[in-house]
Structure 1
Amino acid sequence: MNTTVQNKPAFIAGISLLIMTIAAAFSYGYVHSSLIVSGDPLTTLKNIQASRSLFELGILGWLVIIVTDLLVSWAFYVFLKPLHREYSLLAGWIRLLYTAILATAVTHLVVVSKIIREDATLFSGSLDTLSSQVLLSVISFESIWSLGLIIFGGHLMVVGWIALRARQIPNIIGILLVASGFSYMLVHLLYGFLPQFDGVASILETILSIPMMVGELGFGLWLLIKGRKLTTLD
């Protein structure tokens, strides 16, 4: 594989991952965290009504994440294909499945935006009922996305396994990817299927947040700095 062919997927994957990280920090880390109050539908409704433009910018950020996820699916497959074509293809399809689930989740935020834009009387005439509808849609977004992150964790573990086979990719990158994938799967399996352990899952998520973030982002930075300069990958 010549350097031009290798450069393109590495560059696209690296840039897409950086853009995705910034968009996620904005849409989830800032917008979602500041406007959504768990268990308090009325405050959540008032927050979104008071910051409707910010909420809609958050949705735009999620759309950016969906597009960059699609680009990363393709770029990872092309870049890693010389190492193991079948597993690279598997990793690509798993990420596409995750992206489809994320897109489904985001539609519930679009529903919230539509509810806020419309006259409240169209939806039942009761402020309490309206706020409950809004929070229900937000919870649907969170639940569907959480299930998707289990699949995303599987994707990272496959990518990490492939990376560990590469002579040119530092072992620490592969180890971090596998650790990140395992962390995503563990935390969101607890959230999704063992709600009685939500407290444990929340603690684990806090503890594992660094490896969960560093794994893929570290690979993205390596792709931009070193990966795109490779002429072969074996």
Structure 2
Amino acid sequence: MTTIPHTNWDPVAAHTAGALYLAIAVCGGFSIGFVPMQIVATDAATSAANLMANQGLFKIGIIADGLVILFELAITAILYQMFRNVGPKMAMVALISRAGMISVMGINILLWVLPYMLLTGENSWDVAQQQDLVQIFFDAHATGVFVWQLFFGMHLLALGWLALKSDVVPQILGRGLFIGAFGYLLQGIIELTFTDVAALDYTYIALLVIVTISEISFGLWLLIRGGRTSPQFSTAPA
């Protein structure tokens, strides 16, 4: 009697994917979550003043954004290679969806940089006009986050499906990724259509909690155990 693992991953690739997941969580949490909270205000004048007063933080945030995109490119390729034998078509859906997300992220960096260029460069606009444009770019950047969330939600649906079909990933993680993906999709649709329904807000918040826990757990699982499989027994002759 021989033992044959149904899903055979490259341990180095799995551990690398886990490390990238955690690196993206740290860099993305800083550049997408923390930095905008310190700079973007509800009025244009304050946003412009905050930007000029926090130029160092702003530039570090841009570096973190750039690292996120580089890490995303790497993890997209690695996840495709890991899961393509589980479901080739769904693995391709996951790859294309995450690649679309990365493209929107690149555009979003441009929108984030434009206010700084506007305030520090030479132009013919007066102060009030500059401040208004700064706020418009910041608002567009915030909206861009909801756009790439749609792509990422689709990616997580495909990835969750692949995790559930594999014989390696714990089922609870696959379910968390698949179910939680609807949080990104629902929030993106709600924000982009300017829908204001409290029940929907509570729903996507709950789903985002599920998917956040699942993503971090999946990253940790890949980093710690992702390359080791539990062999399945086969009655085929040795």
Q: Provide the TM-score with structure 1 as the length reference.
A: 0.89
Look up the match of 1:192. Answer: 192
Match of 2:30 in 1: 26
Whether the 8 Å CA contact 2:8–2:229 is kept in 1: the answer is no
Q: CA RMSD in A?
A: 2.3
Q: Deviations over 1:115-162 (max 9, x none)?
A: 23225xx2402x221111111111111112211111110100110011
1-structure distance, mates of 2:207, 2:124: 41
Q: CA deviation at 1:180?
A: 2.1
Which residue does 1:74 correspond to in 2? 77
**CA separation of 1:232 and 1:181: change in aligned 2, threshold 3 A:** farther
Q: SS in structure 1 opposite 2:169?
A: coil
The percent identity for this pair of structures is: 22
Maintained 8 Å contact 1:6/1:232: no
Aligned to 2:125: 124
For 1:25 and 1:72, the matched residues in 2 are separated by 17
Q: Which runs of 4+ in 1 moved over 3 A?
A: 198-209, 230-233
Aligned twin of 1:133: 133
Distance 1:93 1:171 in 2: 24
Question: Structure 2: 5+ residue runs without aligned partners?
Answer: 233-238
Q: Which structure ranks higher in relative contact order (CA pairs < 8 Å, sequence separation ≥ 6)?
A: 2
Q: Which has the higher helix share?
A: 1
Looking at structure 1, the residues matched to 231 and 10 of structure 2 have their Cα atoms a distance apart, in angstroms, of 7
**Size of the alignment, in residue pairs?**
227
CA contact (8 A) 1:26 1:58 kept: yes
Secondary structure of the residue that 1:174 maps to in structure 2? Answer: helix
Query: Is the radius of gyration larger for structure 1 or structure 2?
Result: 2
Instruction: Determine if contact 1:180/1:214 at 8 Å carries over to the other structure.
Output: no
Q: Residue deviations 1:163-203, cap 9 Å, x none?
A: 0011221110101101221110011111012x132766654
Distance 1:123 1:15, change over 3 A: farther
Q: Say whether 1:50 aligns with 2:48.
A: no
Structure 1's 198 and 62: CA in aligned 2 closer, same or farther, altered over 3 A? farther
